[in-house]
Structure 1
């Protein structure tokens, strides 16, 4: 009898404790007050950007670095931004919920690296000119990038979706998991492609193409490149698409 009473007490205590924890967590959740404001933040010089959260980010190239946050005024303090070793870090604290607007406007003088994690939507609409650019796209993020570069290295993983246009001399790209690369509008002179998992890649190559394609991924390519190395295994396929004549 005493054992049953003790067990009931333990269960009751667990239920009460769980309710207390849940209520405490709910009380800590921060929601926007619908008073949307734009605030500029001071930043030092940077050539790299790391984004983690659920932001809508608009990147442009200019003469001076600039950062503007647009969201509810009571949320501004929960958006963490700092520059360390030339990298602008942008992060949202986990307890912020239900935001209608969370826009970030970044102006960069020279961009050499871009890391995107989480569920962001990042747009570089005007042509970004740079010698070399490294891109990592993960999580469920989307990236639309207009770029003119001599060399670009890119890793696209998880469920990331990349839409590229512009012109690149050398394009080294690795795509895996359920990621998607749409780069028919990116003119590439030399391309090194490694695709795996259930990914899909669309590329436009002029002179030289090296491919390693494994798993159930699909690769579509335009142009008439000389294929130097081709390693292919798994249930996916490689298809050449004709260039559209205007």
Structure 2
């Protein structure tokens, strides 16, 4: 009789340990997932939009897209993308840094490549984190 009680207790302990292990694995998996607000598929209607940017010497591209940099007398940014993706693109100047990226929580499948046409007076630093290219032709600067 005593052996039967011990076996039942051991079975309960093993069952409880297994349940705790499964819950722990699920919790770790859920915590590591990227939570998104939604998936945005490009409409195929390509538009351009100009954004006001000025006073920067560093450019950071976060996310997807091709950055085409030209040197000029005025700073400007023209975004070329699907009309339903353009509102989710952010271009923020903070200090001497321009960051081009996307609002958090969204995933994108653009119908065509997203292009950022950036005109700058001078640059000290260019950085990219994500998927894309940076094209920069005939550029003169003292430090980059």
TM bracket (short chain): 0.5 to 0.7
CA–CA distance in 1 between the matches of 2:37 and 2:86?
Answer: 16
Matches within 5 A, 1:1-246: 1-14=11-24, 17=27, 21=30, 25=34, 28-35=37-44, 36-92=46-102, 93=104, 95-99=106-110, 100-108=112-120, 110-118=121-129, 119-125=131-137, 127-130=138-141, 132-134=142-144
Q: Which consecutive segments of 4 or more residues in structure 1 shift more than 6 A?
A: none
CA–CA distance in 2 between the matches of 1:94 and 1:115?
Answer: 25
More strand by share: 1
Judging changes above 3 Å, is the alpha-carbon distance between structure 1 residues 26 and 87 closer, same or farther for their aligned structure 2 residues? closer
* Superimposed CA distance per residue, residues 189-212 of structure 1 (whole angstroms, 9 cap, x where no aligned partner): xxxxxxxxxxxxxxxxxxxxxxxx
Judging changes above 3 Å, is the alpha-carbon distance between structure 1 residues 10 and 84 closer, same or farther for their aligned structure 2 residues? same
CA–CA distance in 2 between the matches of 1:27 and 1:84?
Answer: 26
Local SS of the residue matching 1:120:
strand
Judging changes above 3 Å, is the alpha-carbon distance between structure 1 residues 74 and 26 closer, same or farther for their aligned structure 2 residues? farther
Local SS of the residue matching 1:107:
strand
Contact 2:43 2:82 in 1 (8 A): yes
CA–CA distance in 1 between the matches of 2:128 and 2:105?
Answer: 14
More helix by share: 2
Judging changes above 3 Å, is the alpha-carbon distance between structure 1 residues 62 and 96 closer, same or farther for their aligned structure 2 residues? same
Superposed CA RMSD in Å reads 3.0
CA–CA distance in 2 between the matches of 1:114 and 1:10?
Answer: 50
CA–CA distance in 2 between the matches of 1:44 and 1:52?
Answer: 19
CA–CA distance in 1 between the matches of 2:57 and 2:23?
Answer: 54
TM-score by length of 2: 0.67
Larger RCO (CA under 8 A, 6+ residues apart): 2
TM-score by length of 1: 0.43
* Superimposed CA distance per residue, residues 25-76 of structure 1 (whole angstroms, 9 cap, x where no aligned partner): 4653533233433221112333332323332011112232111112233333
Q: Which residues of structure 1 form unaligned runs of 5+?
A: 135-246
